[in-house]
Amino acid sequence: MRTETPNTIYLKDYTPPTWLVDTVDLHVAIHQGHAEVRARLACRRNPQGAGGTLVLNGEALALQAVSLDGDALAPARYTVADDTLSIMGEDAGPLPDAFLLETVVRIEPDSNTQLSGLYRSKDGYFSQCEAQGFRRITFFPDRPDVMARFTCTIEAERERFPQLLSNGNRVASGTCEHDASRHWARWEDPFPKPAYLFALVAASLDMLEDEFVTRSGRTVRLAVYVEPGKLDQCGHAMAALKKAMRWDEERFGLEMDLDHYMIAAVSDFNMGAMENKGLNIFNTKYVLARPDTATDGDYQAIDRVVAHEYFHNWTGNRVTCRDWFQLSLKEGLTVFRDQEFGADTHSRAVTRIQEVRALRVGQFPEDAGPMAHPVRPASYAEINNFYTATVYNKGAEVVRMIHTLIGREAFRQGMDLYFQRHDGQAVTCEDFVAAMQDAAGVDLTQFRRWYARAGTPRLKAEGAWDAASRRYTLTLTQSLAATAYEQRLADAGMPIVEGPLHFPVALGLVLPDGTDAPLRLAGETAPQGTTRVLSLTAATQTFVFEDIPAAPVASLLRDFSAPVQLDFEQTDAELAHLMAHDTDAFNRWEAGQRLATRVLLAGIAAGGEGDAWIPADFVAACGRVLDAGLTDAPALTAEALVLPAEQVLAEAMAGRGEIIDPEAIHRARVNLRRHLATQLRERFEAVWTALAPSEPYAPDGAQVGRRALRNLCLGYLAESDDATLRAAVLPRLLAQSGQRGNMTDVIAALATLANLDLPERETALAAFHAHWQGEALVVDKWLQVQATSRLPGTVARVRELMQHPAFDLKNPNKVYALVRSFCAANPRHFHAADGSGYALAADVIIELQAINPQVASRLARSFDRWRQFDAVRQGHARAALDRIRACENLAKDVAEVVGNALK
Ligand code: TRP
Ligand code: ZN
């Protein structure tokens, strides 16, 4: 047995590069079975650096030749060891201040299953260089603060690989002199960039072309490349790109800087997409869509990911990260930007609700678990493990808090200043905050703690209204307990950042008549609006509001103004009042969620059986929401009637120091759904009927909301008793899952059917597969609805599907659809008391870590919360984790995750 102890890298050890690279001239020749990469680097001593040996990174490269200023290097002048190539001066003397270094290496893209570096996918060769994939293509100082101008010549067989693409502009192309069946193309990127933004594609792809005229009147050629035959599925991505380009001009004054912008879609891809300069590479999941193949959710995800990658052109590419600890500098900010784009183009409230839900399901547990880390971690073993919900989503919340604290206008000025100061540079999170601070004239010194602290803060609120003085007094107390991260710091003898955080608390006071009270703080002469943003900086702070005419119901953290857990004792009646009247749509939803959580936690404590624990008031409140469903925005009504997720309920239990009981959680949640279905049956029926589609499918806001609510009603109706189900609901589910017009409705019905223990379930699933087996992304949905089924036997079913010809362990989308859905979105079966879910996960992780460590490591994160369960489950989880850890040559990625889990 060999257990690798991953080497830890520390932020505090950062030093500037000793050598800079001004230009890179690459020549990539793709042959049958291998590729040859020739690289010519113009190296220059960094005046800010320490000097000495030039150390280049390189992984899985077979070095063929190395020369300096045209002369082959004597063996004494270089060494290849530990994934580096070191170049020394003559006779152990110094290297010249500037020189040309040329290397020739061979790589094997066909056997590259990690999908990092250059790899083979079915229609050709694709690259993925973030974070450290470029070193798997050629020897290079592979760090983001080394920025170079790239030229890339690609050469390959013309017939099989008609498209040869790289960053920037194609400046020349032709037929190979020595072999007329081969062709080449040369690309030049005018902008210096770090190596992680390099991209290369050599493939057979179809292209959708368009153009965009920027506000300064330049015409940008746009192209979306997809696998042959899929041109009818890229219109939406192209439209999204143009929308994003316009939006960034209007909202942030940012214009496209290249003449040519390409998106290439590939079906084997570790993540969502990659912002390579001028040549984004996308997972097909975020490009391809047609009404019959993609859901409303898919359409919106495409909008967001296309926008995200496009926005990176400024926040990430023009201004990039000094080192990988600064990852959130580009990711948090770019997620914030894509969120705002989503809010401006769809419903702001629905967008916000969905983001907060994702934060609670994905980020809060991370912050409470063994991999907890701040938005800017102080150390890592494997950087790929830090593309996390914390860096992305909490990072976006941190940027949003700055926006809320300083206001929209000052934020825009801060962005302008950031680009003015740092265009073309590789910078740190401090640089970003400093630009915001300087533009706004607000002191953000204390705010910086958000970048250094892990964990979800708790905000305790106490409010009291005094009839005699007509004053409302609000006391806010914040706390943040140490997490596993602070423990890791302490173990390494590193300092822990302490003290209260600085955050905005947006609030309103809702009066008994449902209106918002005008808010005047003690000491002010006049009220200033009905929503106030309080700036909380101390551990405890008291705010006094004057002239409040009646006992108000406080609406705190409007629009979720800070990523914290709120402890605020409000009665059921108060929450119902907010549900009905809060002018802040997010908090109307939130009040409903808090009420539902309270009801469910009481039910869980009672074992979750039956429905005696369900208060009639709660049912009535849901009934009122449903009644307003057709007049209010249907999308918001649908969100309001989604009960808190099982994972959120689990975290609520863990937060109270209780042992998570996944069975009771599941039971209580299903029983509450059944109860609502029975009690509100007529109303679900009425809304379902009223929302029948009357126009052809379009993924626009109004239709999306109507479909969401209608399918929500159908889902509840399917919770009816057996007789009603068979007579009144099943026929509808079968008809809807069998139609081939829009995938949103089909998959809603199929996912519901997948929970029903009826022969019709199997027939419907089989028919769906038979129709869609040629469409990979639709097959993923088929895997997913089965992996997330409630039915007993789901673990066995997932194992069975892993043997199905549709499944492929080498394809991340397949693993995500089947295995990650099971582990992350089916908590009750993943945490099965007999350990079968954990054993399944461990089996997959062990096999996959040798193939694709990044994806295996993401799966391993499913074990994060294992210590919050009972002793029997903990025993099974520990056995599974031990089994993974004992794996021979365990990938560093997985070793870090499992090591932390077992600490
Ligand atoms: N930077 C990319 C994005 O947000 C994501 C990314 C990072 C990635 N590392 C990757 C994508 C590895 C694919 C593979 O937007
Ligand atoms: Zn990103």
pLDDT digits (tens, 9 = 90+) for 421-438: 999 999 999 999 999 999
> In this structure, is residue 736 part of a structural domain?
no
Distance 669 CA to ligand 2 centre (A): 35
> In this structure, is residue 275 part of a structural domain?
no
Mean pLDDT of the chain: 97
Distance 441 CA to ligand 1 centre (A): 34
Question: Which residue's C-alpha comes closest to atom 1 of ligand 1?
Answer: 274
% the chain with pLDDT above 90:
98
> In this structure, is residue 749 part of a structural domain?
no
Q: Which two tokens stand for residue 324?
A: 């990988």
**pLDDT bucket at 389, cuts 50 / 70 / 90:** very high
Distance 21 CA to ligand 2 centre (A): 25
Query: Which ligand has the nearest atom to the CA of 328?
Result: 2
Distance 267 CA to ligand 1 centre (A): 15
Distance 236 CA to ligand 1 centre (A): 21
Dihedral sign from CA coordinates of 186, 187, 192, 194: negative
CA neighbor of 785 nearest in space, from 295, 61, 127: 295
- 462 belongs to the catalytic site: no
What's the rounded Cα separation, in Å, for the pair 488 and 240?
Answer: 42
Q: To test the ligand 1 pocket, which listed residue (112, 266, 270, 330) has its Cβ within 8 A of the most ligand atoms?
A: 270
- The residues, any chain, with a CB within 8 Å of residue 897's CB and separated by 6 or more, are 371, 385, 857, 860, 861, 863
Question: Which residue's C-alpha comes closest to atom 11 of ligand 1?
Answer: 271
Are 592 and 621 spatial neighbours (Cβ–Cβ below 8 Å)?
yes
Burial class of 451 by CB neighbour count within 10 A (0 to 12, 13 to 18, 19+): buried
The C-alpha angle 124, 110, 206, rounded to 5 degrees, equals: 5
Tally helices (H) and strands (E) across the chain: 31, 33
What's the rounded Cα separation, in Å, for the pair 137 and 37?
Answer: 7
CA neighbor of 590 nearest in space, from 616, 631, 561, 628: 561
Question: Which residue's C-alpha comes closest to atom 6 of ligand 1?
Answer: 274
Query: Hey, what amino acid is at 752?
Result: T
Using a 6 Å cutoff on CB, does residue 320 contact ligand 1?
no
User: Is the model more confident about 770 or about 123?
Assistant: 770
> In this structure, is residue 90 part of a structural domain?
yes
Question: Which residue's C-alpha comes closest to atom 2 of ligand 1?
Answer: 274
**pLDDT bucket at 576, cuts 50 / 70 / 90:** very high
Distance 335 CA to ligand 2 centre (A): 7
User: How would you label 115-131 residue by residue, b for 16+ Cβ within 10 Å and e otherwise?
Assistant: bbbbbbbebbbbbbbbb
Place of tokens 């109706």: 717
Task: Find the mean pLDDT for residues 760-772.
Answer: 98
Q: Which two tokens stand for residue 235?
A: 């219109």
Using a 6 Å cutoff on CB, does residue 130 contact ligand 1?
yes
Are 220 and 282 spatial neighbours (Cβ–Cβ below 8 Å)?
no
Domain boundary among 573, 603, 618: 573
Which CB contacts under 8 angstroms, 24+ apart, belong to 730-735?
730/756, 730/758, 730/760, 733/760, 733/764, 734/760, 734/764
Residue 6 has what pLDDT?
60
What's the rounded Cα separation, in Å, for the pair 819 and 840?
Answer: 9
Which CATH number goes with the domain that contains 530? 2.60.40.1840
What's the rounded Cα separation, in Å, for the pair 727 and 732?
Answer: 10
Q: Is the pLDDT of residue 106 over 70?
A: yes
Domain boundary among 204, 225, 258: 204
Distance 315 CA to ligand 2 centre (A): 9
Q: Is the pLDDT of residue 601 over 80?
A: yes
CA neighbor of 390 nearest in space, from 129, 848, 380, 115: 380
**pLDDT bucket at 7, cuts 50 / 70 / 90:** confident
What are 66-99's pLDDT values in tens digits?
999 999 999 999 999 989 999 999 988 899 999 9
Distance 333 CA to ligand 2 centre (A): 9
Peptide bond into 131 cis (omega under 30): yes
Q: Which two tokens stand for residue 152?
A: 């890339």
Using a 6 Å cutoff on CB, does residue 893 contact ligand 1?
no
Residues β-bridged to residue 321: 427
- The residues, any chain, with a CB within 8 Å of residue 728's CB and separated by 6 or more, are 717, 720
What is the H or E stretch that residue 104 is in?
strand 98-107
- Nearest-atom number in ligand 1 for the CA of 387 is 7
Question: Which residue's C-alpha comes closest to atom 15 of ligand 1?
Answer: 274
What's the rounded Cα separation, in Å, for the pair 805 and 795?
Answer: 18
Residue 632 has what pLDDT?
75
Are 699 and 299 spatial neighbours (Cβ–Cβ below 8 Å)?
yes
Residues β-bridged to residue 279: 262
Q: How far apart are the first and last CA of the chain?
A: 19
Residue 3 has what pLDDT?
41
Task: Find the mean pLDDT for residues 642-649.
Answer: 98
Using a 6 Å cutoff on CB, does residue 271 contact ligand 1?
yes
Q: To test the ligand 1 pocket, which listed residue (271, 280, 309, 393) has its Cβ within 8 A of the most ligand atoms?
A: 271
Residue 4 has what pLDDT?
42
What's the rounded Cα separation, in Å, for the pair 129 and 834?
Answer: 41
Domain boundary among 573, 592, 613: 573
- The residues, any chain, with a CB within 8 Å of residue 571's CB and separated by 6 or more, are none
Which CATH number goes with the domain that contains 828? 1.25.50.10
Q: Is the pLDDT of residue 2 over 80?
A: no
Using a 6 Å cutoff on CB, does residue 338 contact ligand 1?
no
Question: Which residue's C-alpha comes closest to atom 10 of ligand 1?
Answer: 130
What's the rounded Cα separation, in Å, for the pair 580 and 586?
Answer: 12
What are 842-884's pLDDT values in tens digits?
999 999 999 999 999 999 999 999 999 999 999 999 999 999 9
Distance 297 CA to ligand 2 centre (A): 19
Distance 122 CA to ligand 2 centre (A): 25
Query: Which ligand has the nearest atom to the CA of 274?
Result: 1
- Nearest-atom number in ligand 1 for the CA of 115 is 14
CA neighbor of 343 nearest in space, from 593, 701, 640, 705: 701
Burial class of 7 by CB neighbour count within 10 A (0 to 12, 13 to 18, 19+): exposed
Query: Which ligand has the nearest atom to the CA of 384?
Result: 1
Using a 6 Å cutoff on CB, does residue 275 contact ligand 1?
yes
Residues β-bridged to residue 402: none
Are 532 and 545 spatial neighbours (Cβ–Cβ below 8 Å)?
no
What are 345-379's pLDDT values in tens digits?
999 999 999 999 999 999 999 999 999 999 999 99
Query: Which ligand has the nearest atom to the CA of 395?
Result: 2
Distance 203 CA to ligand 1 centre (A): 21
Instruction: List the domain range (segments joined by +) for residue 104.
Output: 10-204
217 φψ region: left (φ > 0), alpha (ψ -120 to 50), beta (else): left
Question: Which residue's C-alpha comes closest to atom 7 of ligand 1?
Answer: 130
- Nearest-atom number in ligand 1 for the CA of 133 is 12
Using a 6 Å cutoff on CB, does residue 274 contact ligand 1?
yes
Q: How many domains does the chain have?
A: 3
Distance of CA 613 to the CA centre of its chain: 37
Are 855 and 116 spatial neighbours (Cβ–Cβ below 8 Å)?
no
Q: To test the ligand 1 pocket, which listed residue (126, 129, 130) has its Cβ within 8 A of the most ligand atoms?
A: 130
Q: To test the ligand 1 pocket, which listed residue (263, 337, 387) has its Cβ within 8 A of the most ligand atoms?
A: 387
Q: Is the pLDDT of residue 630 over 90?
A: no
Q: Which two tokens stand for residue 887?
A: 């794996």
> In this structure, is residue 719 part of a structural domain?
no
What's the rounded Cα separation, in Å, for the pair 417 and 440?
Answer: 10
Q: To test the ligand 1 pocket, which listed residue (127, 198, 274) has its Cβ within 8 A of the most ligand atoms?
A: 274
**pLDDT bucket at 629, cuts 50 / 70 / 90:** confident
Q: Which of 309, 366, 397, 651 is catalytic?
A: 309
Dihedral sign from CA coordinates of 131, 134, 137, 138: negative
Question: Which residue's C-alpha comes closest to atom 5 of ligand 1?
Answer: 274
Using a 6 Å cutoff on CB, does residue 270 contact ligand 1?
yes
Q: Is the pLDDT of residue 467 over 70?
A: yes
CA neighbor of 106 nearest in space, from 46, 52, 63: 63
**446-460, 484-498, 515-529, 622-636: segment of lowest average pLDDT:** 622-636
DSSP state of 96: P
Pairing verdict, β 260-266 and 219-226: parallel
Q: Is the pLDDT of residue 574 over 70?
A: yes
- Nearest-atom number in ligand 1 for the CA of 272 is 11
Q: Is the pLDDT of residue 5 over 60?
A: no
Look up the pTM and report it.
0.98
What's the rounded Cα separation, in Å, for the pair 58 and 395?
Answer: 31
> In this structure, is residue 458 part of a structural domain?
no
What is the H or E stretch that residue 200 is in?
strand 200-203
Which CATH number goes with the domain that contains 95? 2.60.40.1730
CA neighbor of 253 nearest in space, from 411, 362, 431, 397: 411
Query: Which ligand has the nearest atom to the CA of 812?
Result: 1
> In this structure, is residue 146 part of a structural domain?
yes
Distance 274 CA to ligand 1 centre (A): 5
Q: Is the pLDDT of residue 1 over 60?
A: no
Using a 6 Å cutoff on CB, does residue 387 contact ligand 1?
yes
- Nearest-atom number in ligand 1 for the CA of 392 is 4
What's the rounded Cα separation, in Å, for the pair 598 and 656?
Answer: 13
> In this structure, is residue 85 part of a structural domain?
yes
User: Could you tell me the CA-to-CA distances from 709 to 208, 419, 425, 582, 643 in Å, in that order?
Assistant: 34, 43, 47, 21, 14
Distance 384 CA to ligand 1 centre (A): 9
Are 435 and 417 spatial neighbours (Cβ–Cβ below 8 Å)?
yes
